[in-house]
Structure 1
Amino acid sequence: MGKLDKQQEYFVMSALRQDSKEAFSLLFQTYYTDLVLFCGNFVKDKDSCEDIVQSIFLKLWNDRKNIQIEISLKSYLLKAVRNSCLDEFRHIEIVRQYETEYGSSVLDNYDTENYILYSDLYAHLSRALEKIPDLYKEAFVLNRFEGLKYREIAEKLNVSERTVEVRVSKTLDLLRKQLKDFFVFLISIGIP
């Protein structure tokens, strides 16, 4: 599930301020997994990440009447995760060690305004793949998402390895054009 658009955010936050448990549940379902994954960039223990994110949602519920969101809910939640990670680091004095060793905290390098949630990226990738002809898409999906080698795909589709190579290459070219704004993130999932 991806992020909410500005209008949806407004209605959900308005409902939340009116004590809507459904609105809270929607926010939790929409952002929980992405926030845990984002937290994992800083805190390597999954249980700690889940605790941090759950605490943020608890605070969101407790402060629902007075919460002021300046930019977007996504940005607010990402900053809350980042700040909670900083608090966690301060508690166990890891920030001091990082600053001594690296000069500044790794956390300061994350731009929460422009951070792409994994679900956002996946949604863009899915939409882009829908626009690619099935002939090319099938070979690409078998290779990149199912991990099959060109030889295995050629046997499965009853075509030559060269044909598979061309189809995967053509799909990559089309995806690069359609997803040019997400190039850095595509590299991280193996789509150079």
Structure 2
Amino acid sequence: MTSIEPEQSSELVLRLKSGDVLAYEIIYNVFVKELLATAYKKTGDRVLAEELVQNIFISIWEKRESLVIINLRAYLFGSLKLSVINHIRSLVIENKYKEYKQVSFQEDYQDTSNLVDLQDLSGLIEEGLNSLPTKTQEVFRLSRYGNQSTKDISSKLKISEKAVEYHITRSLKRLKQYLKKFYIFLYL
């Protein structure tokens, strides 16, 4: 059978609803090739086309008792159209999710990487500071961590402003040497 007349279609649908396997096979044999060709044309993927058409026929058999089919051909091709649309929609959602995960992973990786780099840098600064004389350390910490002016540090530590500047200059030179290690590693 290559085509079904409307009267035959109505009869086949009634037989299908009652569980007639032969009616199901006739419907399958008449429409499967055309549905596959249409599905392949819409998707460009033979395996996907076969899967979509197979799912339509499985659904028809499973829901046969509750189906309301007026035009069998329109019902089958309408089902195929919805299947293709749903498949494309799921691909779009999947691709958006993949893009989101990729961007999110990169941001997480960069955040983690930046945090590790910052901790490494902080460790090097602390190591460099600890190698300085006690007074130089104290002046640097008050200046850079305590945000105090040269004048405030001078009066607090009871040393001249020139001495404060000397200690800050000395500590910055030493830290620059320590940080060269970090920058060389960072660029490698």
The normalised TM-score by structure 2 is: 0.48
The normalised TM-score by structure 1 is: 0.47
Q: Which of structures 1 and 2 has the bigger CA Rg? A: 2
Name whichever structure is richer in helix by fraction. Answer: 2
